[in-house]
Structure 1
Amino acid sequence: MSESLINLIETRLLAREQAALEQPDELFYCSYLISHLNLVAAELPESEEAFLHNLQTSLDSAFTVDQLSSQDKSGIQNLWDTVCLGTA
């Protein structure tokens, strides 16, 4: 798999994180997604589609066990959807 997709998404998340220094919720969403991104990337998915699928599956699994508010889950999912636009 090309690392360009992972790098693109990470760059987008880091840019959002920098822009959100005064927005604690957005900072949390960015850091949450960056940690999932790194975990899934470490598994070396075979394709970009597999990477995107695995990351969404990772989020879905975490949402069932992490004690996040509905607002946090929604914010994380919305940010993920936003940074993935045009990547697949």
Structure 2
Amino acid sequence: MTTYSERADDLCDKLRDLEHQADDGDQLFYCAYLLGLLGLHSAAEEEGDVAFDQYFEEILKDTLNAENVSEQDQGNILGLWHRVIA
């Protein structure tokens, strides 16, 4: 079974690929936002892709709200997150 760290590394690789292909500043921001947050929360000692994705999405939503990110940016960041985990 995949550890949280392995899952986060895999998702970071996907995000970096998208970041290199980004053609606008907003996309770069969304990728960088997710990469930074993934780096902070990948060390939990648990396993499972689905479990990590659910764990991280809760943290992501809480962080977006705590940082008062605009609704539009929240929607775009969450949309990117869902695209990456699909």
Aligned to 1:13: 15
Counterpart-to-counterpart distance in 2, 1:84 and 1:42 = 18
Q: Kindly state the Cα deviation for residue 2 of structure 1 after the two structures are TM-superposed.
A: 6.4
CA deviations over 1:2-58 (Å, ceiling 9, x no partner): 6442222111100111111x4111011001111121122122333322211111011
Matched residue count: 84
* 3-state secondary structure, aligned to 1:45: coil
Give RMSD over aligned pairs.
Answer: 1.7
Q: Which amino acid aligns with 1:38?
A: G
Provide the identity percentage.
29
Q: Which amino acid aligns with 2:13?
A: T
Normalising by structure 1, we get a TM-score of 0.82
Tell me if structure 2 keeps the 8 A contact 1:40–1:54: no
Normalising by structure 2, we get a TM-score of 0.84
Deviating more after overlay: 45-54 vs 32-41: 45-54
Using CA pairs under 8 Å that are at least 6 residues apart, name the structure with larger relative contact order, 1 or 2: 2
